[in-house]
């Protein structure tokens, strides 16, 4: 991969603060004795999951699914393919999907359908980043960290051609970080059942 450089969009401190804020929103939304079953989509969600799980202050269980990603491209291909299925059954669990970013919405729609088929008690979604201008499907996450414009972002789990996942911040490839990003608060309009 040619090194096109990157520019910080959300610093490690900004991300940390927002993840804590999301954790507080999620805590308020579930009874204190609820064990949350965190399901993360590999690979991009692994950093967000690790940080969120440690500040949730709730009992959690954790599972992973792997689906196809962009590969070397910076645009979604639209086709979602299951590469590795869940290890644990979701039946009667309070499932919270922990996803790095929602773009066209294809991945989230696919995973929610897949999870619903397993009969969870409740099913909600938290995403760190949301690119609503790119949406192809009518789908929103219940909790959103940051809303961003149509930029290809890297870092904090997100890759470009499998690199840059380790960056402790969210960055945009090349260019400047000028963005219309807004820090949005809790979006709990969607039901938890499903």
Residue 30 interacting partner from Mg ion, ligand 5GP, none (CB closer than 5 to 8 Å by kind):
none
Residue 90 interacting partner from ligand 5GP, Mg ion, none (CB closer than 5 to 8 Å by kind):
none
- Neighbour count for residue 4 (Cβ, 10 Å): 9
Closer to Mg ion at the Cβ: 94 or 100? 100
Q: Per the residue annotation, which of 51, 94, 100, 103 is the catalytic one?
A: 103
**103 a catalytic residue:** yes
CA dihedral 90, 95, 99, 102 (to 10 degrees): 100
Residue 40 interacting partner from ligand 5GP, Mg ion, none (CB closer than 5 to 8 Å by kind):
none
Given the rule CB under 5 A, which residues bind Mg ion?
41, 44, 100
In the complex, the smallest distance separating the C-beta of residue 128 from Mg ion, rounded to whole angstroms, is 10
Closer to Mg ion at the Cβ: 34 or 141? 141
In the complex, the smallest distance separating the C-beta of residue 20 from ligand 5GP, rounded to whole angstroms, is 22
Q: How far apart are CA 169 and CA 93, in angstroms?
A: 32
Q: How far apart are CA 107 and CA 41, in angstroms?
A: 9
Q: 142 — alpha (psi -120 to 50), left (phi > 0) or beta? A: alpha
In the complex, the smallest distance separating the C-beta of residue 152 from ligand 5GP, rounded to whole angstroms, is 4
Given the rule CB under 6 A, which residues bind ligand 5GP?
41, 44, 69-70, 76, 99-108, 152-154, 158-160
Q: How far apart are CA 137 and CA 135, in angstroms?
A: 6
Closer to ligand 5GP at the Cβ: 133 or 185? 133
Residue owning tokens 């969870």: 120
In the complex, the smallest distance separating the C-beta of residue 155 from ligand 5GP, rounded to whole angstroms, is 8
Nearest to 49 by CA among 118, 107, 97: 97
Q: 49 — alpha (psi -120 to 50), left (phi > 0) or beta? A: alpha
Closer to ligand 5GP at the Cβ: 30 or 70? 70
> Which residues are known to be catalytic?
103
């Amino acid at each position: 991969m040619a090194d096109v450089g990157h520019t910080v969009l959300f610093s490690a401190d900004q991300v940390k603060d927002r993840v804590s804020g999301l954790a507080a929103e999620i805590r308020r939304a579930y009874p204190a004795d609820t064990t949350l079953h965190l399901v993360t989509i590999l690979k991009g969600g692994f950093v967000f999951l690790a940080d969120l799980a440690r500040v949730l202050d709730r009992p959690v269980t954790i599972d992973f699914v792997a689906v196809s990603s962009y590969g070397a491209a910076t645009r979604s291909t639209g086709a979602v393919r299951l590469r590795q299925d869940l290890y644990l059954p979701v039946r009667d669990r309070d499932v919270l999907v922990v996803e790095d970013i929602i773009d066209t919405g294809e991945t989230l729609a696919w995973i929610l359908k897949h999870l619903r088929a397993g009969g969870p008690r409740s099913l909600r979604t938290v995403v760190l980043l949301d690119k609503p201008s790119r949406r192809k499907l009518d789908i929103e996450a219940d909790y959103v960290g940051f809303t961003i414009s149509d930029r290809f972002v890297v870092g904090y789990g997100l890759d470009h051609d499998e690199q840059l996942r380790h960056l402790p911040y969210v960055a945009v490839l090349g260019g400047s970080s000028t963005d219309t990003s807004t820090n949005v608060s809790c979006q709990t309009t969607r039901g938890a059942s499903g």
